[in-house]
């Protein structure tokens, strides 16, 4: 099957978690973040002085009860932007990667968007016979209501040619989109939790299985430097809301001895929480 570095997997009891890399992007830290240069260690100064290449990752969770996808992006949205990179070839499409792990698009039961940004929603519909249709036809899709109500989304919906219209608009018209006002229990194992800051309706997903807890935190953090310097944030973020969301997450992760997966932090070894380093049993990682 060749190089499958774009897929990482591990198990939590009966749950299998697959981290699927929908694309790679160039992330110019110096331009994107509140960077207090005088406070940087020499190691981080070297990293932050040049653009990093980071992934955009989507998560598939399979349990006996459901087949859930967290975010659904593709690689086309970065072409021609400052985020386009040329060092790493684009991975297969998300649907192709799902097929590699034995999951058909029509088997997905739930798609949860952490937020509405293009790299998290762009693969949620596909063009079929000249019209956009849900990429996962049997699934219900979920989005934070505050994202849907935001000026950015509502303005984009007025343009029938916009990405938002082709994705969220289509899902809403087909009654496939559920808007989450606060938190939501998908089932006893999986909860969607409000964590605004990156966007007004940004969400985290909590999985409890096999005696462990994992959080899939979307863009709560974009880069490992934000773990080293917790007050660093992307310039577009709502800084006060994001600070509060991070504080709540950190407190819960500590209490539950949880680990996390972030959308743009690659390498399964980084799943180990900076707070609880013994969280993941290496025997559960699927080669």
93 Cβ contact partners less than 8 Å away, ≥ 6 residues apart: 22, 74, 123
Three-state SS string across the chain, please? CCCCCCEEEEEECCEEEEEEEEEEEEECHHHHECCCHHHCCHHHHHHHCCCEEEEEEEEEEEECCEEEEECCCCCHHHCCCCCCCCCCCCCCCHHHHHHHCCCCHHHCCEEECCCCCHHHHCCCEEEECCEEEECCCCCEEEEEHHHHCCHHHHHHHCCCCCHHHHHHHHHHHCCCEEEECCCEECCCCEEEEECCCCCCCCEEEEEEECCEEEEECCCCCCCCHHHHCCCCCECCCCHHHHHHHHHHHHHHHHHHCCEEECCCCCCHHHHCCCCCCCCCCHHHEEC
The pLDDT assigned to 59 comes to 97
CA 256 to each of CA 173, 183, 275: distance values in angstroms, whole numbers, following the listed order: 39, 18, 11
Six token digits for residue 167? 């994705």
d(CA 42, CA 165): 45
Per-10-residue mean pLDDT, the chain, length 287: 75 95 87 74 81 91 97 84 85 95 98 96 95 98 98 97 97 98 96 97 97 94 82 84 92 88 75 43 43
Task: Supply the pTM of this predicted model.
Answer: 0.91
Quick check: 6 and 20 in contact, CB under 8 A? yes
Six token digits for residue 189? 């194992």
The number of CA neighbours under 13 Å toward the Cβ of 19 is 29
What are the backbone dihedrals phi and psi of residue 282, each rounded to the nearest 5 degrees, phi first? -55, -25
Mind listing the domains of the chain with CATH numbers? Answer: 7-286 (3.60.15.10)
Angle 134-114-161 from CA coordinates, rounded to 5°: 45
């Amino acid at each position: 099957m060749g190089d499958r570095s774009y897929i990482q997997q591990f198990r939590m009891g009966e749950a299998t978690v697959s981290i699927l890399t929908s694309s790679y992007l160039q992330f110019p830290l110096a331009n994107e973040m509140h960077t207090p240069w005088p406070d940087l260690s020499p190691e981080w100064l070297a990293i932050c002085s040049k653009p990093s290449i980071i992934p955009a990752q989507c998560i598939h969770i399979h349990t006996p009860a459901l087949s859930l996808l967290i975010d659904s992006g593709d690689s086309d949205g970065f072409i021609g932007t400052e985020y386009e990179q040329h060092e790493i070839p684009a991975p297969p499409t998300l649907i192709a990667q799902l097929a590699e792990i034995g999951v058909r698009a029509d088997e997905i039961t739930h798609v949860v968007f952490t937020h509405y940004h293009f790299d998290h929603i762009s693969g949620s519909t596909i063009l079929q016979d000249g019209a956009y249709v849900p990429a996962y036809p049997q699934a219900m899709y979920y989005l934070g209501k505050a994202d849907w109500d935001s000026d950015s989304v509502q303005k984009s919906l007025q343009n029938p040619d916009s990405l938002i219209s082709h994705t969220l608009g289509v899902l809403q018209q087909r009654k496939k989109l559920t808007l989450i006002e606060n938190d939501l229990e998908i089932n006893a194992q999986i909860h969607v939790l409000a964590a605004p800051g990156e966007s007004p309706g940004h969400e985290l997903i909590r999985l409890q299985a096999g005696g462990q807890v994992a959080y899939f935190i979307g863009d709560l953090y974009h880069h490992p430097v934000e773990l080293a310097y917790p007050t660093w944030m992307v310039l577009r973020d709502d800084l006060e809301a994001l600070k509060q969301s991070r504080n709540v997450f950190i407190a819960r992760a500590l209490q539950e001895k949880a680990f996390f997966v972030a959308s743009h932090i690659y390498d399964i070894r980084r799943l180990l929480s900076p707070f609880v380093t013994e969280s993941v049993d290496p025997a559960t990682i699927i080669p």
